[in-house]
Amino acid sequence: GATPANGINRNNAPLDRVRSDSAEQRLSSNQGVPIGDNQNSLKAGIRGPTLLEDFLLREKITHFDHERIPERVVHARGSAAHGFFEAYDDLSEFTIAAPFRSAGKITPVFARFSTVAGERGSADTARDVRGFAVKFYTDDGNWDLVGNNMPVFFIQDAIKFPDLVHALKPEPHHAMPQASSAHDTYWDFVSLMPESTHMLLWQMSDRAIPRSYRTMQGFGVHTFRLINRAGDAMFCKFHWNPMAGTHSLVWDEAAKLMGADPDFHRRDLWEAIEQGAYPQWELGLQLFTEAQAESWGFDVLDATKLIPEEMVPVRPVGRMTLHRNPDNFFAETEQVAFCAAHIIPGIDFSNDPLLQGRIHSYIDTQISRLGGPNFHEIPINSPVSQVHNNQRDGMHRQAIHRGRVSYEPNSLGGGCPYQAGHQGYASFAENVSGDKLRSKPEQFAEHYAQARLFYDSQTADEQRHIIDAFRFELSKVQIPAVRTRVLANLSNVDPALAAAIADGLGMAVPPPSPVAGLTETPVYPASPALSLTAR
């Protein structure tokens, strides 16, 4: 009963147009010329050289030579599936966003899960953050919720992202390690960036070795805005909760699986869907006002902080079901282009400086990854709502635009689209003023209170796993000063945690690193056991 017919049809109908099935069809060239012999090239004499004029051989080889495209600069390794989102309620009190327009509303989706650091062929169970990207094909255009399986991030400002990724990726001289955080450059960087401490705790926890994509949470991470018909806005954090519960591997399992079955998560997702055990996630919202946010002592524009659920409960608003595997990995999973800038009426960004940089990055990278500015026409990326504008030409243009008018204003008419006016996308009318400067709010300087909250929320076994993971990873780090800096930062989270790791490494515990003094200290709930999300 979880797959209403319209949920299936509305997603697949647009793609059926381009689905190709060659069974019982005559073999042909790309020009449609029938091919009689696909075994032998054209030669001068029975043992002679191959002729340059063999256009069938050349077309086949030439196409093959260009089969590969660049892999994603991050999140290269991933798996995806089609499905649908079903809203529980009419949320028009908060937002005009199409998926939440009425109770029971169905929106087709395509979701891709990924590791971050590993290359396209790397193992699924590496210790890493997982991407959790969902494309909603809504009535008002595509909305991409491009999240991760952890609610916080390593850095606060997009300008540090290339540094983070350069430190995290295989080292440039010998290209090792392929898919792991266990190396000098990574730990060097994070040791010098204490803002990464909270995320490091998550990354060394069991959350970084999920049992399955089906048992992972997802988070939009940043604060977004929801906007209603009157133009009123609420701040919002997005949460995906797996209906199957959140489950992890233990490190020994993960390490063994990397060798025994590098496709472990890919296979698990594929087989579950083939067998009709459709994975499901509930979407939840943390909704809060700007005034509430101002009273918390941490900044909701800081992506290294979450909002404990005791402070703002998560309201369930709908459910995603993945019920159909892709027909072709390249056409769908590889060519899908998620983008943090893809929002729809009723949803807006916040001024989170990490999010602001992401708005630029995705389209930019996809122009080179997918060969020019028209990748929105690739079937998996094209919206189900109509596309009409005066953008023209460019590599690989598919649409055939008619008429001579592709500019505005014009007096010639002839098929020019009209502006949607009040039905069009409207940004939240935020009042903004200030000096132009490269700086950050004072509260961005506090890095340890939420890391402690997370560590305290873990059971004794889970804390043990975190200690073991730090010991293992840091034991691979060659430079003693780097280990010392990591431990000095961790001493600010919990001296016993730092001491336990140091003990495993045979090191003395260094004094804690200097801590920024805030005029106002953040206040968190006394009992952190529920602060994160249901386990």
The reply to whether 345 sits near ligand HEM by the rule CB under 6 A is no
Q: Residue 181: which residues within 8 A CB-CB, separation 6 or more?
A: 117, 127, 128, 168, 187, 203, 473
Residue 506, Ramachandran bin (φ over 0: left; ψ between -120 and 50: alpha; else beta): left
Positions in 421-480 near ligand HEM (CB under 6 A): none
533 belongs to the binding site for ligand HEM (CB under 6 A): no
Q: How far is the CB of 74 from ligand HEM (least distance, A)?
A: 5
DSSP string of 201-214, one letter each residue:
HHHTSGGGSBS-GG
Cα 200 to Cα 153: distance, rounded to the nearest angstrom = 9
Q: Measured from the CB of residue 146, what is the shortest distance to ligand HEM in angstroms?
A: 5
| Token reading at 242 | 């797996």
Minimum Å gap between C-beta 31 and ligand HEM is 32
Q: Does 306 bind ligand HEM (CB under 6 A)?
A: no
Q: Which of 7, 83, 141, 147 binds ligand HEM (CB under 6 A)?
A: 147
The answer to whether 128 and 117 have CB atoms below 8 angstroms apart is yes
User: How many angstroms separate the first and last alpha carbons of the chain?
Assistant: 27
Catalytic-residue membership of 11: no
Instruction: Give the per-residue contact string, 56-95, with ligand HEM (x = CB under 6 A; - = no).
Output: ----------------xxxx--x-----------------
Task: Please tell me which residue in 75, 265, 376, 447 is annotated as part of the active site.
Answer: 75
148 counts as binding ligand HEM under rule CB under 6 A: yes
Q: Is 156 in the site for ligand HEM (CB under 6 A)?
A: no
112, amino acid identity: R
Of the candidates 136, 188, 144, the one whose C-alpha atom is nearest the C-alpha of residue 167 is 188
Name the catalytic one among 11, 142, 148, 325: 148
Q: Cα(332)–Cα(324) distance, rounded to whole angstroms?
A: 12
Instruction: Select 147 or 510, whichever has its Cβ closest to ligand HEM.
Output: 147
510 near ligand HEM, judged by CB under 6 A: no
Residue 63 is a catalytic residue:
no
Does residue 342 belong to the site contacting ligand HEM (CB under 6 A)? no
Residue number with CB closer to ligand HEM (72 or 265): 72
Which helix (H) or strand (E) segment is 142 a member of? strand 141-148
Q: What is the DSSP string of 346-414?
A: TEEE---HHHHHHHHHHHHHHHHHTTSTTGGGSGGGS-SS----S----TT------SS--SSS-SS-S
Please identify which residue in 298, 362, 454, 470 interacts with ligand HEM, judged by CB under 6 A.
362
Task: Single out the residue of 221, 301, 322, 493 in contact with ligand HEM (rule: CB under 6 A).
Answer: 221
Count, residues near ligand HEM per rule CB under 6 A: 27
The whole-angstrom separation of Cα 177 and Cα 164 is 15
- Interacting residues with ligand HEM (CB under 6 A): 72-75, 78, 112, 114, 131, 133, 146-148, 153, 158, 161, 221, 336-338, 354, 357-358, 361-362, 365-366, 369
- The residues that are catalytic are 75, 148
